[in-house]
Amino acid sequence: MWGRPDILWGLFALAVPIALHLLQLRRYRRVAFSNVSFLRDVQKETQSRHRLRNLLVLLARLITFAALILAFADPMWAPEENPNPSTRQAVSVYIDTSPSMMAAGETGPLIQEAKQKATTLVDAFSETDKFHVFTSEFEGQDQRFLTQTEALERIASAQLSHHAPDLDAVIQRSMDQFRRSEGATPRAFWITDLQKSSHDLQTMNQPDTSVAWHVIPVEGNDVPNVWIDSVWFNAPLALPDQAAALHVRIEHDAREGVDGLPLALRVDGVTAALGSFNLVPGLATDTILRFTHGASGPHMLTVELEDAPVRFDDTHHMGYDVQKGIDVFHWTDGNAPFRKATQLVEQAFESARPLIKVEQGTSLPSPQVLASFDLLVTNGITKPSLGACALVEQFVSGGGSVLVIPDSAAQGLEVLFSTLSLDPPVGWMKESGQVSQVRWTHPLYRGVFRAVPSRVDWPEYDRILNRRIKSEEEVLIEANNGAAYLSQIQGTSGRGTVYLLGTNLETGNLTRHGLFVPTLLRIAESARLTEERRYLLGRDLSLTLALNQELNSEREASVSWSVIQLDIPPDQTSVKVVPEVRTTPDGLRLSWGNTLTVPGPYAAQQNDLTIATFGLNPRASESKLASWLPDEWTQELISFGWKNIPVWTQPSEQLAKMVERHIAGERLAWYFFLAAMLGLALETLLLKRWNNLFS
Per-residue pLDDT at 35: 56
Structure-model confidence comparison of residues 569 and 469, the more confident one: 469
Give the whole-angstrom CA distance, residue 502 versus residue 459: 12
Is residue 126 scored above 90 in pLDDT? no
The pLDDT-based confidence of 556 (bands split at 50, 70, 90) is very low
Is residue 633 scored above 70 in pLDDT? yes
> Which amino acid is residue 325, in one-letter code?
G
What's phi and psi for 560, nearest 5 deg?
Answer: -90, 55
Structure-model confidence comparison of residues 81 and 245, the more confident one: 245
Q: How far is CA 552 from the centre of its chain?
A: 34
Per-residue pLDDT at 328: 93
Give the whole-angstrom CA distance, residue 34 versus residue 481: 148
Percent of the chain's residues with pLDDT above 90 = 32
Q: Judging by beta carbons within 10 Å of its beta carbon (0-12, 13-18, 19+), is residue 472 exposed, middle or buried?
A: exposed
The pLDDT-based confidence of 72 (bands split at 50, 70, 90) is confident
Please, what is the angle between helix 340-350 and helix 516-525, to 10°?
Answer: 60
Mode of pairing for the β-strands spanning 89-95 and 185-192: parallel
Per-residue pLDDT at 84: 47
Please, what is the average pLDDT of the chain? 83
Give CA separation, 551 vs 322, 609, 611, in Å: 18, 12, 10
Lowest mean pLDDT: which of 42-56, 64-78, 277-291, 519-533?
42-56
Peptide bond into 186 cis (omega under 30): no
**534-548 average pLDDT score:** 84
Per-residue pLDDT at 190: 94
Give the whole-angstrom CA distance, residue 476 versus residue 677: 100
Per-residue pLDDT at 625: 86
Is residue 61 scored above 90 in pLDDT? no
Lowest mean pLDDT: which of 272-276, 332-336, 560-564?
332-336
Pair 247, 231: CB distance under 8 Å: yes
Per-residue pLDDT at 403: 94
Partnered with residue 536 across adjacent β-strands are 617
Give the whole-angstrom CA distance, residue 334 versus residue 154: 69
Pair 614, 537: CB distance under 8 Å: no
Lowest mean pLDDT: which of 324-333, 440-449, 463-472, 648-657?
440-449
**21-47 average pLDDT score:** 58
Read off the DSSP letter of residue 694.
T
**447-470 average pLDDT score:** 80
Q: What strand order describes the sheet that includes 460-461? A: 356-361, 326-332, 375-379, 401-405, 497-501, 484-490, 474-479, 433-438, 460-461
The answer, as to whether pTM is greater than 0.75, is no
The pLDDT-based confidence of 559 (bands split at 50, 70, 90) is low
The pLDDT-based confidence of 251 (bands split at 50, 70, 90) is very high
> What pLDDT, in 10s, does the model give residues 639-681?
888 877 889 989 888 888 888 777 755 566 667 778 778 877 8
162-201 burial by CB neighbour count: b if 16+ within 10 A, else e? bbbbebbebbebbbebbeebeebbbbbbbbbbbbbbbbeb
636 Cβ contact partners less than 8 Å away, ≥ 6 residues apart = 201, 628
> What pLDDT, in 10s, does the model give residues 590-602?
999 888 888 999 9
Read off the DSSP letter of residue 541.
-
Pair 407, 436: CB distance under 8 Å: no
24-56 burial by CB neighbour count: b if 16+ within 10 A, else e? eeeeeeeeeeeeeeeeeeeeeeeeeeeeebeee
Query: Pseudo-torsion of CA 592, 545, 586, 327, nearest 10°?
Result: 170
> Which amino acid is residue 186, in one-letter code?
P
What's phi and psi for 75, nearest 5 deg?
Answer: -70, 140
Q: What is the largest CA-CA distance in the chain?
A: 158
The most confident of 60-69, 91-100, 364-373, 619-628, by mean pLDDT: 91-100
Give the whole-angstrom CA distance, residue 676 versus residue 14: 14
Percent of the chain's residues with pLDDT above 70 = 86
Angle at 274 between CA 272 and CA 276, to 5 degrees: 155
**553-578 average pLDDT score:** 76
Pair 604, 612: CB distance under 8 Å: yes
Is residue 298 scored above 50 in pLDDT? yes
CA nearest neighbour of 461 among 425, 489, 501, 413: 501
The most confident of 202-206, 443-447, 576-580, 682-686, by mean pLDDT: 576-580
